[in-house]
A and B are shown apart, each in its own frame.
Chain A
């Protein structure tokens, strides 16, 4: 099947950028950089979606994923990470140091596990996929907005996608309720008197408890 070289080159370059920046997301120390690099990975991903005749999905990727979700991450990092100093910031966490799987040994073990999994999985998938590979046949108007909207909204009383579409609204409500609940202040709690969760000392934040405990 002839694929135009422009498509090939675009795909190859995008794949390269996606892989490199995703690797960087996993490896860099600074959390703000990691978030920005993930956005960098999302842009060529949306390009690949456009090559796959999923232009609407590509737009969603930029608008919703890079635009909204990643901004959420950036805000939270800014919130809890006011002044990174000495190369160790709360949001970044200290890489390595304590713990069993950290430092070079941890990296080696992680690499070994992931590498083994990949070595096991990738050739199998590649083989199976090339067995079933045929020239892509798409219907006219595939991936266009009119076609997707017909899929989503046609005959809502009998459309198989209606139920999941409605259920996800409850999922989002749960997310909102959870975020609201977690952000409730002590004022709300103080109203419910005579209530301590666990043993009195354990309910204190850890820093205060460390101060109370005799060294």
Chain B
């Protein structure tokens, strides 16, 4: 096999790298909007892995193209619900930083 970049392992590496970058953002980011954005980065990586599996291995039916459409539909709903919750939070707390929104928890 010749050395080539455009193959299944490399596409999977790219997609998993996106997932890891996104999850780093999910754990690190303080602002809730930026956490949602990091989740979109992860989802981008997942979609890439779906499409590349379909092309490199199972190129007879476009099943994962359909899964991709479902996944962006779900992403849209999640973004809508999440952002409307962010707005409600902002109304009540005047802040959307993760650490400052902490009324729940164990009380001494």
Contacts and interface: CB of A to CB of B under 8 A. Distances in A.
A136 B51 CA distance: 13
Among A114, A122, A132, max chain B CB count under 10 A is at A114
A79 interface: yes
B13 A126 contact: yes
A27 to B, nearest CB: 8
A196 B70 CA distance: 40
Given A22-B44, A142-B62, A110 B24 contact: yes
Contacts of B65: 54, 56-57, 143, 148, 151
A143 B40 contact: no
B93 A205 contact: yes
A205 B51 contact: no
Interface residues on A, range: 35 or more
Contacts of A172: 73, 76-77
A9 B23 CA distance: 28
Given A42-B44, A114-B23, A106 B28 contact: yes
A72 B77 contact: no
A51 B11 CA distance: 11
A190 to B, nearest CB: 16
Interface string A15-43: 10011001101100001001100100110
B26 to A, nearest CB: 9
Contacts of A49: 48, 51
Contacts of B56: 133-134, 136
Contacts of A136: 55-57, 59
Contact of A31 (B31, B74, B84): B31
19 contacts: A3-B5, A25-B25, A25-B37, A26-B22, A31-B34, A38-B41, A54-B65, A57-B68, A61-B47, A91-B33, A92-B34, A93-B34, A114-B20, A126-B12, A133-B1, A137-B60, A175-B76, A202-B103, A205-B92
Interface of B: 1-2, 4-14, 16-18, 20-25, 27-34, 36-38, 40-41, 44, 47-48, 51-52, 54-57, 59-63, 65-66, 68-70, 72-77, 79-81, 83-88, 90-100, 103
Given A8-B4, A52-B52, A126-B12, 17 more contacts: A1-B4, A3-B7, A7-B6, A18-B14, A31-B33, A49-B48, A52-B51, A54-B54, A54-B68, A56-B65, A60-B72, A93-B98, A95-B30, A99-B30, A99-B99, A114-B21, A133-B8
